[in-house]
């Protein structure tokens, strides 16, 4: 099948590449000439495990190409994915300008029937706005399909290639059958393709992310209560996760969630509820809890060292909002660093993949180092914000020599507290009793 994907951000690039890898002819379109030129050379603008190899392979086999020429891509393709960004507006609602702008451009250039697929995350009712935009700009027949993505950064290739489910929203029987055919190679193991109306498909995406965000904030609140009662959140989490109605995923407490999806999708759903006169009180609380949780690690640092943090140096391991990505959007590390800088601290930071993006945000206000242990040299303490694998088994003897004070603030509960005690460190984690050495 001949496919065009408009937008080469995270979702668009993964979608186009994975479709090409199963044999479809895919053209990825973007208005950014510099970005397209980079992609044509095989220079991938985001870090996602396995993506670069797939892009290069499918370019070499002439199944994947990149262009700024939307008109040509529309003419050559039967299925047109809209995969542009929907950033939050000032009021928290999703900004649909890019989505509707692409729809308008498609309508102005199409000369035969097309299947227009909304892959961008959009609020319920957005497909109808896309349909109206197309109807205003063309008399050529078209079908609008809602096809939300459920990709985890760091595991996006596997998520697309082996989806739990594929959601297709629409009313055109021929377009729905074409979408089933498009996705059939990815569901050979029996995972379902779920067909529904457009609005239900749009709501499915928001409901899924809202539920996952809710689980995270719920567990963070339980963790904070555990600290105040002396309970161990690890034992609590493991036990409740054994209940088949609950399960273990997304029950790990931490320093708050970030990224491109959960924050903006929760905000957008809250805004949608307000517009319809139906306040989403649980999700409003989820947002509040997450905002508060991003400050928990800072409060532990301040409690340990005292009110005056001026001239303290804190080493930070992990900048991206989660491992296996370079995404800094809404990253908890940014909240921690800003709070430390406001208190007069010096910060030395390391991340395996997110250093360039962090520099673009923080500039020269902090020190960036080439290796994780370099950040610890002369630091008063170590804060761990992202759970990269390379942080899980540190050389504690080396840390003793580098740190001025043997104290670790672990925002991801990477270590066993008793093991850290044996190594001679004071240790603060989330939802567990602290290890405080006299």
CATH of the domain at 371: 3.40.50.720
Query: Are residues 41 and 117 both part of a single domain?
Result: yes
Q: Considering the domain boundaries, does residue 434 fall inside one? A: no
- 14-54 pLDDT per residue, tens: 999 999 999 999 999 999 999 999 999 999 999 999 999 99
| pLDDT value for 437 | 86
Q: What is the pLDDT of residue 89?
A: 83
Q: What is the pLDDT of residue 272?
A: 93
Note whether 257 and 300 are same-domain residues. no
Reported residue count of the chain is: 438
Residue 382 has pLDDT above 90, yes or no: yes
| Domain presence at residue 191 | yes
Task: Please report the sign of the dihedral spanned by the C-alpha atoms of residue 227, residue 229, residue 230, residue 232.
Answer: negative
Distance (Å, whole) CA 435 – CA 424: 10
Query: Per-residue confidence at 278, pLDDT binned at 50, 70, 90?
Result: very high
Domain hosting 211: range is 206-292
User: 324 and 334 in one domain?
Assistant: yes
| Local structure of 171: helix, strand or coil | coil
Could you read off the pLDDT of 157-203 as tens digits, one per residue? 999 999 999 999 999 999 999 999 999 999 998 899 999 999 999 99
Residue 53 covered by a domain = yes
Residues 22 and 55 in one domain: yes
Same domain, 382 and 334: yes
Taking 80 as the threshold, does the pLDDT of residue 147 lie above it?
A: yes
Domain boundary among 173, 196, 219: 196
pLDDT higher than 80, residue 438 = no
The active-site residue out of 28, 261, 345, 376 is 261
Q: Measuring CA to CA, which residue among 292, 212, 219, 293 is closest to residue 252?
A: 219
Task: Read off the pLDDT of residues 402-421 as tens digits, 9 standing for 90 and up.
Answer: 999 999 999 999 999 999 99
Residue 261 bears catalytic tag: yes
Q: How many structural domains does the chain have?
A: 3
Least Cα distance to 429 among 216, 226, 258 occurs for 226
Whether residue 45 is contained in a domain is answered as yes
Domain edge (last residue) among 246, 266, 292: 292
Please indicate, yes or no, whether residues 311 and 280 belong to a single structural domain of this protein: no
Whole-number pLDDT of residue 419:
95
| Per-residue pLDDT, 90 | 81
Contacts 24+ apart (CB under 8 A), 390-398: 390/352, 391/317, 391/318, 396/420, 396/423, 396/424, 396/425, 398/373
pLDDT single digits (tens) 227-260: 999 999 999 999 999 999 999 999 999 999 999 8
């Amino acid at each position: 099948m001949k496919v065009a994907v408009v937008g080469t951000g995270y979702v668009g690039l993964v979608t186009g590449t994975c479709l090409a890898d199963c044999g479809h002819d895919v053209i990825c379109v973007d208005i950014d000439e510099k970005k397209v030129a980079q992609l044509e050379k095989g220079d991938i603008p985001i870090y996602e495990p396995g993506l670069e190899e797939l892009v290069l392979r499918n370019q070499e086999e002439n199944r994947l190409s990149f262009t700024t020429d939307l008109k040509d891509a529309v003419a050559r393709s039967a299925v047109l994915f809209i995969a542009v960004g929907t950033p939050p507006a000032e009021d928290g609602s999703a900004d649909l300008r890019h989505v509707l702008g692409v729809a308008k451009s498609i309508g102005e250039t199409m000369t035969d029937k097309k299947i227009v697929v909304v892959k961008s995350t959009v609020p319920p009712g957005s497909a109808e706005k896309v349909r109206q935009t197309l109807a205003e700009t063309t008399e050529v027949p078209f079908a609008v399909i809602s096809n939300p993505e459920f990709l985890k950064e760091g595991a996006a290739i596997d998520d697309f290639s082996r989806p739990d489910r594929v959601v297709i929203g629409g009313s055109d029987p021929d377009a729905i059958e074409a979408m089933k055919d498009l996705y059939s190679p990815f569901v050979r193991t029996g995972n379902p393709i779920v067909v529904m109306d457009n609005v239900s498909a749009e709501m499915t995406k928001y409901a899924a992310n809202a539920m996952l965000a809710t689980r995270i904030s719920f567990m963070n609140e339980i963790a904070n209560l555990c600290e105040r009662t002396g309970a161990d959140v690890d034992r609590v989490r493991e036990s409740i996760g054994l209940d088949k109605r609950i399960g273990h995923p997304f029950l790990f407490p931490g320093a708050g969630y970030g990224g491109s999806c959960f924050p903006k999708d929760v905000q957008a759903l809250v805004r949608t509820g307000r517009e319809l006169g139906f306040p989403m009180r649980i999700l409003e609380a989820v947002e509040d809890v997450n905002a508060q949780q991003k400050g928990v690690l800072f409060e532990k640092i301040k409690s340990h060292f005292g009110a005056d943090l001026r001239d303290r140096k804190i080493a930070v391991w992990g900048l991206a909002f989660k491992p296996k990505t370079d995404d800094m959007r809404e990253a908890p590390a940014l909240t921690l660093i800003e709070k430390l800088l406001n208190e007069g601290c010096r910060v030395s930071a390391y991340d395996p993949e997110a250093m360039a993006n962090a520099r673009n945000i923080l500039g020269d206000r902090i020190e960036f180092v080439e290796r994780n242990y370099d950040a610890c040299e002369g630091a008063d303490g170590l804060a761990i914000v992202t759970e990269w694998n390379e942080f899980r088994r540190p050389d504690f003897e080396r840390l003793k020599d580098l740190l001025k004070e043997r104290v670790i603030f672990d925002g991801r509960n990477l270590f066993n507290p008793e093991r850290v005690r044996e190594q001679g460190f004071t240790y603060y984690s989330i939802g567990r009793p602290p290890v405080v050495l006299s």
